[in-house]
Structure 1
Amino acid sequence: MGETKVPVNPQRVIVLGNLENVLALGIKPVGATTLGDGNFPSYLRNETEEVAKLGINGQPSMEKILLLKPDLILGWSWDEGIYGKLSKIAPTVFVEGSITWKEWLRTFAEALGKTQEAEKLLSNYNHRVETFREQMGDRLSQIQVSVVNFWADQVRIYMKRSFSGLILNDIGMPRPSAQNKDKNSENLSLELIPKMQGDAIFLVLGEGEESKLTQFTNHPLWFQLNAVKQSKVYQVNNDSWIGSWGIIGANRVLDDLFKYLLTDQSSDRKELPTLAVTQSFHS
């Protein structure tokens, strides 16, 4: 949004989206916006107990922000309509919605004076990607991964520009033809169940999906999917696979890929590398 002068070692940070990147950099903000259900991602529960909720992403409460007296505000360009108001409260830095989650991390890190920490996190992520590729060996090119999301009354397949899709791209995992597209997602109806086809299906479940899930998984077309026939349908977390767009969620996606796609490998494989996230925060 132009040039912004930010304080050195800010003490009262507010985050309007992409909270986990700030936490991963070792900063506990005084307040942040939440997911659409009014909660922070489930896997951040322990790290967010003292973080004030400022409304859902895209709809922050200006009144609550004012009361917290921030010295730095971080957010996404989807709030550009209130950038002027926010920047009068405190220096405000937005990330552009069209760049990748890695650049979002780097931008927040620059504003927080944590560039070296961000590069270490990304280096660790890249190392885990390479380790996964090595341990998969020839199987890497032989398994097409399908990502299917059940959320309320919607059923979607996720493609190359989705968060999990970008991680699969980094790895070089093949995608089914219906999902090998340069877009985020497509909604499906019952007759389009064959578009879920894959050697492994990662089934992402959100809240309120029970009736839709039952409707699809009881349909005859569901039982014709290769992954269903071979019992390779794996339930994973919506907050990390779909809603994260941050370094902690990216590593959780990798955790699931290690867990489910390498279980057939030899038991003498090396211990899986893990994410090192700073646990000492200042607020």
Structure 2
Amino acid sequence: MRKPALIRRAVPAALLAATAVVLTACGGGDATDDAASTIVRSTTSVAGAGVLGNGRSTENVCGPTAPVDPAGVEGATRRVAHAAGESAVPADPQRIVVLDTDKLDTVCALGLQDRLVGAAVAGAVGEQPTYLGTTIAGVEPVGTLAEPSIEKIAALKPDLILGSKFRTPELYAQLNAVAPTTFTEKVGTTWKENLVLDGTALGRGASARAALDAYESRATETGKGLDSAQTQASVVRFMPGSVRIYGPDSFSGQVLADAGVQRPPFQRLEGAKDRRFAELSTEELSKADGDIIYVSFYGDEAREQGTDVMEGGLWAALGAVKDHRVFAVDDEIWMTGIGVIAAGGILDDLKGSLNGYTN
């Protein structure tokens, strides 16, 4: 039964400070004593919001090298159908370039991070995501998601390129001339299908499916432990020059749904053509309210603008703000990660913020 109104619940005092959450990934890699391998986000509060993920460890985030699918041992290549056609790709690629953030997450989850020779970066950030650890953070940039550099990619001599028809449909022929290239159709809304397709192109479709199954089981169990159906969670993202709420078809919205978390009525975006997100004016901030609000910032400019909004009177009037149930989360994990490791990070954040977790 749908709840007729938002339910306000008291939050334990301990949750008003930043919560330390350790990211649980698909598997463990080689441990290291190098202090640089753990990236610690030390901020404890952003405009009154507690920060989730403080002290999140990036050691052992990437999985061990997944086994090659049996079909791949019969020859040097395999044929993979994808959004731009069909390609003959290496059965076990050794030099990989990825042109979207979800593919970074997948390569890491399958334990192929040491084979990455290049990756495009998000424009507002300008660097590789840190939640995947130092190996990924050190991967050579090859331009942005919207404008990858064919010249830089070619210089790296990849034997497989993973791209997105959504991002750069016009570049497929040029990319495929450099190395066998597969494209996924969309970004975010089809993240689970993308995981399996990219895993198949990497010669590890079976392991990608297994990682997805493990995540879905964990999401179900996490939701049960949190009694998550009793909470309507709001997801707010500050972009440079705009404020967005994220709906059920977004990546983070899908993870919340997998964990059984409910959404405020407006954020269900019922009847909307695009149920990924909606933009709000500052006068419409009441639509961002919920039992709990998760806030992220896309880059430094958005953080400055978002902080100004969160220090204003309209934001202060929100029920979740009054109840001290607002949490700043990592944009890399909640928004741009779009993969199974990032999804696990969202589940960790839920465990660090929703009431009723008993495990």
* Residues 149 and 157, structure 1, Cα contact 8 Å, conserved in 2: yes
* Distance (Å, rounded) in 2 between the aligned partners of 1:3 and 1:211: 45
Gaps of 5+ in 2: 1-83
* Distance (Å, rounded) in 2 between the aligned partners of 1:151 and 1:164: 16
Partner of residue 243 from structure 1, selected from 336, 356, 359: 336
Partner of residue 73 from structure 1, selected from 161, 164, 171: 161
* Distance (Å, rounded) in 1 between the aligned partners of 2:229 and 2:339: 26
State the shift of 1:127 in Å. Answer: 1.7
1:88-107 CA-to-partner distances (Å, cap 9, x unmatched) read: 21111111116610111100
Could you tell me the percent identity over the aligned residues?
38
Q: Could you say which residue in structure 1 is the equivalent of 2:41? A: none
- Once structures 1 and 2 are overlaid, which stretch shifts more, 150-159 or 243-252? 150-159
Q: Could you say which residue in structure 1 is the equivalent of 2:199? A: 109
Partner of residue 125 from structure 1, selected from 211, 215, 221: 215
* Distance (Å, rounded) in 2 between the aligned partners of 1:120 and 1:252: 18
State the shift of 1:239 in Å. Answer: 1.1
Where 1:4 maps in the other structure, the secondary structure is strand
Structure 1 ranges of 4+ moved more than 3 A: none
* Residues 13 and 71, structure 1, Cα contact 8 Å, conserved in 2: yes
Does the alignment pair 1:165 with 2:253? yes
* Inter-CA distance 50–148: structure 2 relative to 1 (3 Å threshold): closer
State the shift of 1:75 in Å. Answer: 0.8
1:247-280 CA-to-partner distances (Å, cap 9, x unmatched) read: 1111111110111114x54xxx33xxxxxxxxxx
* Residues 118 and 156, structure 2, Cα contact 8 Å, conserved in 1: yes
Q: Could you say which residue in structure 1 is the equivalent of 2:225? A: 135
1:136-164 CA-to-partner distances (Å, cap 9, x unmatched) read: 23xx2321100111233221111112111
Partner amino acid for 1:31?
G
State the shift of 1:6 in Å. Answer: 1.0
Where 2:316 maps in the other structure, the secondary structure is helix
* Inter-CA distance 125–61: structure 2 relative to 1 (3 Å threshold): same
TM-score by length of 2: 0.70
Does the alignment pair 1:230 with 2:323? yes
* Residues 34 and 54, structure 1, Cα contact 8 Å, conserved in 2: yes
Partner amino acid for 1:30?
V
Partner of residue 15 from structure 1, selected from 77, 87, 98: 98
Does the alignment pair 1:87 with 2:176? yes
Partner of residue 192 from structure 1, selected from 265, 272, 284: 284
* Residues 75 and 93, structure 1, Cα contact 8 Å, conserved in 2: yes
Does the alignment pair 1:4 with 2:76? no
* Inter-CA distance 104–218: structure 2 relative to 1 (3 Å threshold): same
* Residues 128 and 139, structure 2, Cα contact 8 Å, conserved in 1: no
- Once structures 1 and 2 are overlaid, which stretch shifts more, 52-61 or 17-26? 17-26
TM-score by length of 1: 0.87
Residues 176-191 of structure 1: pairs in structure 2 closer than 5 A = 176-181=264-269, 183-191=275-283
State the shift of 1:45 in Å. Answer: 4.1
Partner of residue 132 from structure 2, selected from 15, 40, 44: 44
* Distance (Å, rounded) in 2 between the aligned partners of 1:240 and 1:49: 14
Partner amino acid for 2:279?
N
Gaps of 5+ in 1: 271-283
* Distance (Å, rounded) in 2 between the aligned partners of 1:6 and 1:218: 52
Where 1:84 maps in the other structure, the secondary structure is helix
Partner amino acid for 2:203?
G
* Residues 30 and 50, structure 1, Cα contact 8 Å, conserved in 2: no
Q: Could you say which residue in structure 2 is the equivalent of 1:279? A: none
* Distance (Å, rounded) in 2 between the aligned partners of 1:230 and 1:12: 50
RMSD: 1.7
* Residues 289 and 319, structure 2, Cα contact 8 Å, conserved in 1: yes
Does the alignment pair 1:26 with 2:118? no
Partner amino acid for 2:117?
V
* Inter-CA distance 115–194: structure 2 relative to 1 (3 Å threshold): same
* Distance (Å, rounded) in 2 between the aligned partners of 1:60 and 1:161: 27
Partner amino acid for 1:26?
G
State the shift of 1:120 in Å. Answer: 2.1
